[in-house]
């Protein structure tokens, strides 16, 4: 039942992106993916910023949830990773200092995310 509901949500999202941008996230280039991400936040997307994974086990659990998601499940990826379009916390953590960030490509290289990101963005999988 859960799998059927997920499949329906994914199909709805793929249709939403295709109608709005002419392409789904799986076929979008870097700039279009950035636009899709920003538009979702401007439209009110709320992500699961807490709890921050303090241990390897908690971190691994989040990766286990993200791993099966397809490229078109962009919304779910952002929600589960706790993605934000701004630095986070008193230390102002951000992608720029994260070990997964490819500065020159402006890309998050964590395989379970594999998405473009701006230096001042952040998600709860942040690591140094
Ligand atoms: S893991 Fe999160 S904080 Fe690190 S580069 Fe990717 S999106 Fe940014």
DSSP state of 108: E
Round to whole Å and give the CA distance between 64 and 47: 17
Q: How far is the CA of 126 from the centre of ligand 1 (A)?
A: 5
Q: Is the CB of 62 under 6 A from ligand 1?
A: no
pLDDT tens sequence across 19-65: 999 999 999 999 999 999 999 999 999 999 999 999 999 999 999 99
Round to whole Å and give the CA distance between 56 and 9: 30
Do the domain assignments include residue 103? yes
Q: Contact 49/80 with Cβ under 8 angstroms?
A: no
Number of domains making up the chain: 1
Q: Cβ of 97: how many Cβ atoms within 10 Å?
A: 16
pLDDT tens sequence across 11-21: 888 889 999 99
Round to whole Å and give the CA distance between 49 and 94: 13
Which of 80, 89, 95, 115 to mutate for ligand 1's pocket (most ligand atoms within 8 Å of CB)? 95
Q: What is the pTM of this model?
A: 0.93
Do the domain assignments include residue 126? no
Do the domain assignments include residue 127? no
- Determine the structural domain holding residue 55 and report its residue range: 2-116
Q: How far is the CA of 43 from the centre of ligand 1 (A)?
A: 22
DSSP state of 27: G
Query: In whole numbers, what is the pLDDT of the chain averaged over residues?
Result: 94
Do the domain assignments include residue 124? no
């Amino acid at each position: 039942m859960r799998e059927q509901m997920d499949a329906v949500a994914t199909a709805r999202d793929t249709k939403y992106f295709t109608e709005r941008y002419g392409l789904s996230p799986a076929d979008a280039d870097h700039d279009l993916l950035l636009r899709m991400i920003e538009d979702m936040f401007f439209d009110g997307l709320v992500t699961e910023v807490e709890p921050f994974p303090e241990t390897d086990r908690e971190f691994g659990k989040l990766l286990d949830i993200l791993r099966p998601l397809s490229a078109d499940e962009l919304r779910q990826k952002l929600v589960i990773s706790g993605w934000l379009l701004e630095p986070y916390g008193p230390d102002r953590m951000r992608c720029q200092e994260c070990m997964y960030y490819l500065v020159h490509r402006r890309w998050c290289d964590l395989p379970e995310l594999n998405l473009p990101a701006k230096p001042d963005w952040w998600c709860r999988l942040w690591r140094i």
